[in-house]
Chains A and B, each alone.
Chain A
Amino acid sequence: DTGVSQDPRHKITKRGQNVTFRCDPISEHNRLYWYRQTLGQGPEFLTYFQNEAQLEKSRLLSDRFSAERPKGSFSTLEIQRTEQGDSAMYLCASSFQGESSYEQYFGPGTRLTVT
């Protein structure tokens, strides 16, 4: 396993269209996170899953956003009726819930441009 993968790497869409991103975590990791990063900012937390359960959603995640992690493996993030303000890098990360240390490992991200 070479790490967290995300698809697509780049997405250009017109305002009002729906988009879906996919994240495949490191196989033995039971936690999966979505973050959003805009220019000049650090990543901002959107939501996370433990196995298939979505445990927390940020206030940043409006009702146009939905995330799923069926069967506790890969995850999808869907944005409906995209707006120009949704343009950002969407990052996925995974981790293993351990007791001695804690790190999240990030994928390369999906860059979304809404025109």
Chain B
Amino acid sequence: DQQVKQNSPSLSVQEGRISILNCDYTNSMFDYFLWYKKYPAEGPTFLISISSIKDKNEDGRFTVFLNKSAKHLSLHIVPSQPGDSAVYFCAATTWISNFGNEKLTFGTGTRLTIIP
């Protein structure tokens, strides 16, 4: 039962353009969402998060959008840079509604390749 889905295993984007990574979830109890970036042979690195009380959160080149009615979120990277090439994981948790239970449920990841 895949509660967090990233349907695009890979994505290639020209340097300087916008990268859009998508994520869907099925569990309506999820109320906090995170994006992680992972390089080979390293652990996931936290990028940006959003709680269900917001529909957008921005941090520099990274913006996350949340559409609760569609149970969909997306990560926008603009402009894309070669160092952004990595695997991106979407994760979700029930942080707000269940403060004592904060395990993350991850998607399967999208490999982003930035073409110089």
B65 at the interface (CB under 8 A from A): no
Is the CB–CB distance between A56 and B49 below 8 Å? no
> What's the A-B contact tally at a CB cutoff of 8 Å?
60
The stretch among B11-19, B69-77, B78-86, B102-110 that forms the contact with chain A is B102-110
Residues of chain B within 8 A (CB-CB) of A91 are 43-44
Residues of chain A within 8 A (CB-CB) of B25 are none
Residues of chain B within 8 A (CB-CB) of A106 are 36, 43-46
Query: Would you give 30 A-B contacts (Cβ < 8 Å), ordered by A?
Result: A31-B102, A33-B103, A40-B108, A41-B108, A42-B4, A42-B89, A42-B91, A42-B109, A43-B44, A43-B89, A43-B104, A45-B103, A45-B104, A45-B105, A48-B102, A56-B101, A56-B103, A58-B103, A93-B43, A95-B102, A102-B49, A102-B95, A102-B102, A103-B34, A103-B49, A104-B34, A104-B102, A104-B104, A105-B46, A106-B44
